[in-house]
């Protein structure tokens, strides 16, 4: 597989332009969005347009970009000559939109099949995040891409649910403490977010809780969540989903965790902003979340600050100010020093991480080693490590293996100016 090289500064520039384009789409200011985009891209060369295509794919906003730009397509054609770079970008996001429609049909069919089978066996399943958001937040579902479908069940029926899903022909491709990922045996691998294969993304993540470490915010889905669940419409079918308040909390915790792990995708922030538009009062949200635990109240704050900075005219600022009273001084200050591009998918190749920001986020930790331990896996899993032939646990090997999964703290070269991307066409 060949790799194409992109300049970091080009990716950063295109990230800012595309984020501004989507911000104006959120504000329902399409004409301003197109005008701004044309002004900022008129001097782009072919490499910049290819960088924009990569940025859009990695952040899950290709479909949104296509939707916004398609409204001004006729105007663009009448006011400027065609060039290879912009035509490539438009063609790329248009192609991804079409592919996502086909993927979405496969994902929806898989999810409804599983939900229906579980219902027959008396198991209550809750569909969360991507699939529900696609059909209830966006004017067209294909505007919201997703890697998989997330379904939650109670911990007591988790093993029974796995048996039911494998009986349907699913296979377990990986299993964690609080979740298992299952897919059809004919599912293709999904190596990159910009993959062109229409049958990718057919896997289902089965949860009995939310993995929110390193934040230390355990979220176990129990009867308290199910009592507040709502019924959502997916075309002609109806599924159970989380309440609006819990959906906001889950998305906010995901964004905060992503910031900390340096793997944020812009589409998640768009989800959060659109969810907040449906909620009438910040006090209503804090009242519900106070029942979930004080840590939830604290750690949704960075997500609201992030959303406010990227979408300044949204209601995220109102929620950021409201939830600021639940956090300490250090957590109030650290999000404003964040460069959002550093927390995009290209972040692990950009520059040396600012350790003090991560330590400031996990405010009750005192040293870097504690942060490293907490950001990888909760402590109870370490004792499950298999022993060596001598009966001693291979702690050093264990730590090295885990750290390799997260390159953010390892061998980061602040002088690196280019990013090698395999398989991008």
Question: Any residues with CB less than 8 A from the CB of 113 and at least 6 apart, and which?
Answer: 168
Residue appearing with tokens 């049958």? 199
The residues that bridge with 206 in the sheet, in sequence order, are 151, 180
pLDDT in tens, 181-237: 887 776 654 444 444 455 555 688 888 877 665 566 667 777 788 888 889 988 888
CA–CA gap between residue 61 and residue 66 (Å, rounded):
9
The pLDDT score that the predictor gives to residue 323 is 92
Mean pLDDT of 38-51: 91
Kind and range of the H or E element at 39? Answer: helix 30-41
Reported confidence tier of residue 365, pLDDT bands at 50, 70, 90 = very low
**DSSP 3-state of 10:** helix
The pLDDT score that the predictor gives to residue 408 is 43
Q: For the chain, what percent of residues have pLDDT higher than 90?
A: 25
Give the chain's domain count. Answer: 1
28 inside domain:
yes
422 inside domain:
no
Ranked by mean pLDDT, the top range of 7-21, 59-73, 292-306, 386-400 is 7-21
Taking 70 as the threshold, does the pLDDT of residue 362 lie above it?
no
CA–CA gap between residue 250 and residue 199 (Å, rounded):
27
The pLDDT score that the predictor gives to residue 355 is 45
CATH number of the domain encompassing residue 272? 3.30.460.40
Tokens describing residue 292: 């979930």
CA–CA gap between residue 270 and residue 181 (Å, rounded):
25
Ranked by mean pLDDT, the top range of 15-24, 92-101, 183-192, 227-236 is 15-24
The pLDDT score that the predictor gives to residue 378 is 36
Question: Any residues with CB less than 8 A from the CB of 134 and at least 6 apart, and which?
Answer: 104, 141, 142, 143, 144, 146
The pLDDT score that the predictor gives to residue 6 is 85
121 lies in which domain range? 3-343
CA dist 285 → 80, 282, 289, 405 (Å): 48, 5, 6, 35
305 inside domain:
yes
Q: What is the pTM of this model?
A: 0.82
If one compares 180 and 351, the residue with the highest pLDDT of the two is 180
20 inside domain:
yes
Asked if residue 52 lies in contact with residue 37, where contact means CB atoms within 8 angstroms, the answer is: no
CA–CA gap between residue 105 and residue 199 (Å, rounded):
10
The pLDDT score that the predictor gives to residue 213 is 55
Taking 90 as the threshold, does the pLDDT of residue 273 lie above it?
yes
Taking 90 as the threshold, does the pLDDT of residue 138 lie above it?
yes
Write the DSSP string, 119-186: HHTT---EEETHHHHHHHHSSSGGGS--SEEEEE--GGGHHHHHHHHHHTT-EEEEE-SSEEEEE-TT
Query: Cis omega (within 30 of 0) on the bond before 144?
Result: no
Tokens describing residue 130: 């991507």
104 inside domain:
yes
Mean pLDDT of 107-124: 90
399 inside domain:
no
**DSSP 3-state of 287:** helix
Asked if residue 330 lies in contact with residue 360, where contact means CB atoms within 8 angstroms, the answer is: yes
CA–CA gap between residue 253 and residue 53 (Å, rounded):
28
The pLDDT score that the predictor gives to residue 264 is 78
pLDDT in tens, 314-350: 999 999 999 999 887 777 777 776 777 777 766 655 5
Instruction: Write the Ramachandran bin of 192: left for phi over 0, alpha for psi from -120 to 50, otherwise beta.
Output: beta
378 inside domain:
no
If one compares 269 and 359, the residue with the highest pLDDT of the two is 269
Write the DSSP string, 49-94: HHHHHHHHHHTT-HHHHHHHHHHTHHHHHHHS---HHHHHHHHHHH
The pLDDT score that the predictor gives to residue 391 is 45
367 inside domain:
no
CA–CA gap between residue 142 and residue 63 (Å, rounded):
7
Measured at the CA of 214, the angle between CA 209 and CA 217, to 5 degrees, comes to 45
Asked if residue 409 lies in contact with residue 372, where contact means CB atoms within 8 angstroms, the answer is: yes
Average pLDDT over the chain, rounded to whole?
A: 77
If one compares 240 and 361, the residue with the highest pLDDT of the two is 240
The pLDDT score that the predictor gives to residue 389 is 47
Mean pLDDT of 3-31: 89
pLDDT in tens, 60-83: 899 999 999 987 654 554 344 457
């Amino acid at each position: 597989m060949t790799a194409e090289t992109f300049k970091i500064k080009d990716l950063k520039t295109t990230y800012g332009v595309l984020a501004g384009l989507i911000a104006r789409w959120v504000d329902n200011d399409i004409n301003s969005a197109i005008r701004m985009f044309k002004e900022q891209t008129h001097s782009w060369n072919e490499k910049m347009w290819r960088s924009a295509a990569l940025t859009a794919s990695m952040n899950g906003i290709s479909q949104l970009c296509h939707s916004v730009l398609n409204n001004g397509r006729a105007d663009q054609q009448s006011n400027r000559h065609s060039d290879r770079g912009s035509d490539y970008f438009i063609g790329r996001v248009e192609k991804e939109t079409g592919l996502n429609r086909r993927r979405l049909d496969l994902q929806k069919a898989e999810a409804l099949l599983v939900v229906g089978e579980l219902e027959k066996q008396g198991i209550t399943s809750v569909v969360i995040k991507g699939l529900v958001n696609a059909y209830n937040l966006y004017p067209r579902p294909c505007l919201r891409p997703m890697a998989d479908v997330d379904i939650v069940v109670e911990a007591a029926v988790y093993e029974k649910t796995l048996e039911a899903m494998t009986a349907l022909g699913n296979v377990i491709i990986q299993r964690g403490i609080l979740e298992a990922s299952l897919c059809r045996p004919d599912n293709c691998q999904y190596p990159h977010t910009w993959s062109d294969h229409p049958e990718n993304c057919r896997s289902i993540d089965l949860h009995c809780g939310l993995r929110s470490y390193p934040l230390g915010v355990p979220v176990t889905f129990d009867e308290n969540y199910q009592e507040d669940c709502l019924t959502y419409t997916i075309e002609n079918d109806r599924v159970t989903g989380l309440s609006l308040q819990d959906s906001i909390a889950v998305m906010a915790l995901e964004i905060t965790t992503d910031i900390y792990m340096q793997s944020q995708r812009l589409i998640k922030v768009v989800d959060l902003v659109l969810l907040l538009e449906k909620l009438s009062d910040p006090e209503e949200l804090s009242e519900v979340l106070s029942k979930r635990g004080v840590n939830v109240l604290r750690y949704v704050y960075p997500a609201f600050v992030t959303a406010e900075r990227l979408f300044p005219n949204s209601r995220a600022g109102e929620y950021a100010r409201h939830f600021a009273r639940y956090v300490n001084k250090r957590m109030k200050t650290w999000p404003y020093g964040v460069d959002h591009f550093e927390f995009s998918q290209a972040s692990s190749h950009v520059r040396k991480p600012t350790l003090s920001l991560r330590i400031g986020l996990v405010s009750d930790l005192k040293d870097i080693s504690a942060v490293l331990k907490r950001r990888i896996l909760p402590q109870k899993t370490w004792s499950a490590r298999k022993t060596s032939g001598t009966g001693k646990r291979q702690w050093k090997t264990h730590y090295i293996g885990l750290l390799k999964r997260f390159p953010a703290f390892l061998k980061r070269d602040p002088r690196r100016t280019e990013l090698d991307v395999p398989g991008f066409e």
